Structure formats: C-alpha cells, structure tokens
Structure 1
C-alpha cells in the first residue's frame, strides 16, 4: 500500500467534503433570510439545532448496524467461529464507546458551546446591520483562525497569509456595498466570527479520533439546549409562527445543520484548520449563486470579481500544503 497516495486521496476527499459544506451553508442563506421574517433568533436556533441532532440519531444507529453486520459477515465468510465473532464485538464496538466516543463527547460539547455563541450573536447582530456587512465581518474567521494559531505557537506558511489577504479582498468585493463602519450589529457579528473560529478549531482538535456523527449530534443538541432557556427569557416564542417556517427550519436543520456540519467534522480530519476555513468561506460565493438562481438576483461585475479572488485564495491556501 502506498501511504502517500492514501494520504493524497483522503485529503482530496476532505477538501470535497468542505466544499460541500460551503455549498450547503451558502444556499442556506435563502431559507434563513425568509425564516427571520417570522421567527426570533433564539427560537430559530433552538428549533434548527435540536432538529439537526435528532435527525442524526437514527442515521448513526443505522450506519453502526450496517457496519457491525458487515463485520460479522466477513468473519462468517472466512469460517470464523462464534468466539471470533464475540471477539470482534468486544474489541471493535466497546473500544469505540470507551475511547472514540469519549473524544466525541468532549469535542461535541465544546463545539456546541461555540456554535451556540456564534449562532446567537450572528442572528442577533443581523437585526442591526446589513447582510453585506454581516457577511464580510463573519468571513473574518479566515483571518482570526491563523492569528489564534500564531499566538498558540502554530506556524502558518506564507501561502496562508497571502491567501488570507487575497480572500479578504474577495470578501470585500463580494459583500461590502457601503462604507465600512462598526455599529452595534457589526460588533455582535464580529463576536460571532470569533466564536465560529473557535468552533472550527475545536473540530480540528477532536475530530481525528472521534465518531463524526456522534460528534455532530452532541454539538447540535448542546447548542439547541443552550438556546431553549434564552428563547423563553429574551423572546416570545410562538408555535404558530414556528409552524409557518417549518420548511426553512427543516432545510436548515437537516442539510445546513446535520449534513453540512458532519461533512465539516469529517473533512477537517484531513485538511488543516486555516486551509479548511478558507474553503468554507467559499459559502459566500454559493450564497450569491443561490440568490441569483432561486431569488433571481443578479451579480454585478464587482461581485463576480470577488468570486474570482475568493477562489484564487482557496487555491493558494492549498498549494504549498504538499
């Protein structure tokens, strides 16, 4: 077996998953925008995060069952006796519960805490600022991550810093349509960007030796549970208004939540956090494309140029990571 080829293939797979994450997150801006007209931030987050966690529960159990049956079938095919099958059960499933799941729980709780903070700050801040400025400020996590890494003793190559500068230019061209100023909403969006950076870093810290689906489930349930008391304390949740946007909540919970964040966790096993954040920032491009296709919005020349800069930044970030 050529280990270098295996590593190259897994990195490609991880990159594809992160692009898929960016695509889903970008498209999700359409239903998210629609939902905010009828539902408040904490109520919205509580519904979609809890839904994401609940949806992934049966998925994980089904996949574990299929994996176990496949393992048993392989043992039986080779003429293994019941002792070997029991040994498979004890040595494969139980160590997962004791070791891998322990890592998944730690990472899930920590990631869920940062996801709750990030989602809450972002949804609250968007009430006081424009979508363009919010998108630009949120995208600052591509700068914050390598800066945090630098102060933690991690060294980034020149390509990451160049890519960061290029991506910032691209994000500016994509999102900013007015003079840049920091208001109340901008401040909360900036705080959400820091929290998103910590969520990405927590995924990198715990994803290598964890159960990706269990990680996601715990992350979403944690964020959802933390949102519930805030929903009742700071808002006036209405069952009827929540039912009005059930399609948007379903899409965000199942796809933007369950599917995309699981792809993020799996993808970050093989792609460094700084480069991963660069890839995931491509969601801004997909958001523009989604708006053009679904909402019949048109991109001006400046926005198209911004797409080119962002894509160039992604290539630069990946280039020297051999």
Structure 2
C-alpha cells in the first residue's frame, strides 16, 4: 500500500470514528433539548461550517465567464436537489434522533448501518442489478438484527423500530445524493441540504417543542460535536480521504462507525450488550461487509 492510500485510509478511519461517537453526542443531547431543536441547531452549524470550504474551492477554481453562465443555469437544479435531499435528510435524522430516546448509541448505529445493504436492494426499483453478495449480506444482516433487537417476547422496541424505518430513509437519501451529485456541485448540495434540514427541524420544534436557551446551552457540547465535527470536519475528511481510496475500501472503513458508536456507548455512557446483542452486532457488521464484497473483485481496486 502506497503512502497516499495509507493516508486516505487513516482519514476515512478518523471520519468513521467521528461519526460513530456522534451517536453518543446525540444520545447526550436529547437529555436537555428536544429532537427537532437538537437537529435544527446542529445541522445549521454543519451548514455554516461548510461555507468556508465552499468559498475556498470557489477561489481555487476561478472560472471564465462562460463557465459562470453555465453554473447559473444549474442553480435551479441545485435548489431542487437541495430541497429534496434536505427533506429526506430531515425525515431520516428525525427518526434516528427519536429512536435514540429509547435505544442505545451502539444499537442505533448498527441498525442505521443497514443502509449499506438497503441501498443496492432499493436500487432494484431503479433497474440496477443486485448481486449474490448483496443478498447474502442482506440475509446475514437481518438475522443479526433479530439477535440485536428482538426480545424474549418476540417484539422489537419502539426505539429500534424508529431506527429501522430511518435506515430506509438513509438509503433513499444516499440514492438521491448519488443521482444529484453527478449534476451539481457536491459540496454546495451538502450545504444546501443541511440548511433545508435545519429549517424544517426548527419549524417543527417551534410547533411541538419548548425551546429554551438554558436547554440549548446545556446541550452545547453535543450540538457543537454533532454540527461542527460530525458534519463539517468529517465531511471534509471524507472528501479528501476518498480521493486516493477505492470505493469498496472506503465503504468498508466508513462502516466501522457502527463499531466506534458501540465503543463510545460502552466507554462514555456505560451501555452494555448481552450475548445475543453482541452476536447480533457481529452478524450485522458481517452482513455489511459481505454486501460490499463484490467491489473487491473489481479491477479498479
């Protein structure tokens, strides 16, 4: 492995760690403020943290008049993409945050991580082929979900159910980003969808939650972590990390966020899993890896 790939892998591993520990920050944040207030403030911070990066890249890639005119034509498409992606992000993030009220950081991360398996399966509706590794991975992950979430009464907790429904919306969100990022600037799209998600969250918070300055201050550190580090810093690390890393390696390393979330929950929140839960986590992570296995046989790796 050359030094550039090694550096990329380290950046992606750091990204996975930041995202994993973000589940801990979210779990702490909901003790002080409501779901929508928390998401509204952190995504606003995340969007603001990307503005300097956008200005930097705009400065580095100064273009001629013809290119400027072309960018202006694409602005309408950017607004539409940001609106749709932001709406989907709002639903996914809201379900995730609501679920965290009644489940652990580790379980939430592993269930959310099912989007890695769901993305290619949902791709069937877009006439994309689904390979045998994806189906094996999906079955393995579902069995893992059973061990992780189904209790002795053969029922799933409300929190885990919210995370499971949220995983479908995370998968849809990824498919939307995959489609729109080919047509518009990915960084500007990210910033715009974060603003849309923040706006929708704050509107909902004003309608259903009691927003207090004291509560926001109490949740200050989790909000800063979730907004600046999890969104702004981690997104930037991901962009630079994927520059010299193969897509399959990147997906595998980033999926380690589930492991970091479980570790963070154990170390910082004293969250414990029983034997069934541990087996479930192992099976779910194995399913995520198996679903990406086909990528390792491609020549671009």
TM-score (norm 2): 0.78
Aligned partners of 2:21 and 2:139: how far apart in 1? 25
Aligned partners of 1:241 and 1:147: how far apart in 2? 41
Give the drift of 1:221.
0.1
1:200·1:277 contact (CA, 8 Å) conserved in 2?
A: no
DSSP 3-state at the match of 1:320: helix
Q: Name which of 145, 151, 174 aligns with 1:178.
A: 151
Give the drift of 1:208.
2.5
* CA displacement 1:35-64 (0-9 Å, x = unmatched): 111111111111001111112112211232
Aligned partners of 1:151 and 1:218: how far apart in 2? 27
Matched, 1:29 2:23: yes
Q: Name which of 96, 111, 116 aligns with 2:90.
A: 116
Aligned partners of 1:112 and 1:287: how far apart in 2? 24
Corresponding pairs, count: 288
1:136·1:172 contact (CA, 8 Å) conserved in 2?
A: no
* 5+ residue gaps, structure 2: none
* CA displacement 1:9-56 (0-9 Å, x = unmatched): 99x96x887655433221112221111111111111110011111121
* 5+ residue gaps, structure 1: 1-8, 69-87
Aligned partners of 2:10 and 2:127: how far apart in 1? 29
2:114·2:141 contact (CA, 8 Å) conserved in 1?
A: no
How do residues 60-71 of structure 1 correspond to structure 2 at under 5 angstroms?
60-68=54-62
Give the drift of 1:156.
1.1
Larger mean Cα displacement after TM superposition, 256-265 or 150-159: 256-265
Matched, 1:217 2:191: yes
Matched, 1:90 2:65: yes
RMSD: 3.6
Give the drift of 1:263.
6.1
C-alpha distance 310-103 of structure 1, shift in aligned 2 (>3 A): farther
Match of 1:52 in 2: 46
1:163·1:314 contact (CA, 8 Å) conserved in 2?
A: yes
Aligned partners of 1:178 and 1:125: how far apart in 2? 17
Aligned partners of 1:315 and 1:144: how far apart in 2? 13
Question: Which one has a bigger Cα radius of gyration?
Answer: 1
TM-score (norm 1): 0.73
